Amino acid sequence: MKMCKALESLPNNCLERAKGLKARLSIFLQKSDASSNPGHSSKAYKLRPSLEEALEWRETFDKLLTNKHGLAAFRAFLKSEFSEENIEFWLACEDYKNTKSSAKLSSKAKNIYEEYFENDAPKEVNIDHETKKITKNNLLHPSLSCFDLAQNKIYTLMEKDSYSRFLKSSIYQELTKNPMCSCIQKQSSSQKSHT
C-alpha cells in the first residue's frame, strides 16, 4: 500500500517513462531468451550476441559501439538510467556526418540543435555553456564537423562514466553468462539429487 502511494506522488511522465522502459527491456530480454532456444530459426538466434562477441565489448568502448548488439544493449542500459539522449545525440551526429547533400546540412543541423541543445529541448544533452555557444556559432555555416566538439564531449562522458557502469550492469552480466557453465551446474545439481 505504501508503495502505491509513493508511486502516485511521482509525476505522470516519470511513470510513463518507467513503464515504457520496462516494456523495452522485457522485449530485449525475451528476444535474447528466444534466441538461445535451439528450436527457433537462425534469424531469431542472431538477436543475441555470442558470448565471445559480448566479452569483446570489455576491450574498448569503440568495440561496443561498432557492434549492433553492443549498441542495442548499451542503449537499453542508458534508457534504464534515463540518459539515452547521450547515445541518441552521438548517433544523430554520426548520421549527420554521412550527409551527402550540402543543401540538407543546414536543416539537419538545425533539427539536431533544436532536439539536443535548445533550453528545454526534448532530448537536451548535458553540455557546458562554452561548447553549446561554439556549436551554435557553427550552425551559421553548417559543415560536416559543426557538432564534432559536442559529440566528442558526449562520447567522453559515456566512455568515462556510463560505459564502466554498463559493464557492471545486469544487462551486460546476463549477456556474458557462459551457457556451458549453467548447463554443467544444472547437471551436477541433478546428479547430486539422484545420489
User: Residue 15 pLDDT > 70, yes or no?
Assistant: no
**DSSP-derived secondary structure letter, 147:** T
User: Residue 124 pLDDT > 60, yes or no?
Assistant: yes
Average pLDDT over residues 26-54: 56
Cell numbers found for residue 10: 511521482
Q: How many CB atoms lie within 10 A of CB 123?
A: 15
Query: How many Cα atoms sit within 13 Å of 1 on the Cβ side?
Result: 0
Alpha carbon separation from 65 to 1, 35, 60, 135, 163 (Å, rounded): 42, 21, 9, 24, 10
Alpha carbon separation from 162 to 59, 84, 118, 159 (Å, rounded): 15, 10, 23, 6
User: Residue 16 pLDDT > 90, yes or no?
Assistant: no
| Residue in the structure block whose three cell numbers are 511513470 | 15
**DSSP-derived secondary structure letter, 1:** -
Average pLDDT over residues 25-30: 45
User: Residue 74 pLDDT > 90, yes or no?
Assistant: yes
Encode pLDDT of 77-115 as tens digits: 999 999 999 999 999 999 999 999 888 999 999 999 999
Of the pLDDT bands very low, low, confident and very high (cuts 50, 70, 90), residue 11 is low
To the question of pTM greater than 0.75 for the whole model, the response is no
Encode pLDDT of 134-179 as tens digits: 999 999 999 999 999 999 999 999 999 999 999 999 999 999 986 5
Lowest mean pLDDT among 22-31, 121-130, 139-148: 22-31
Cα distance between residue 124 and residue 165, in whole Å: 22
Cα distance between residue 117 and residue 85, in whole Å: 11
pLDDT at 130: 97
* Angle at the Cα of 113 from the Cα atoms of 111 and 115, rounded to 5 degrees: 65
pLDDT at 192: 46
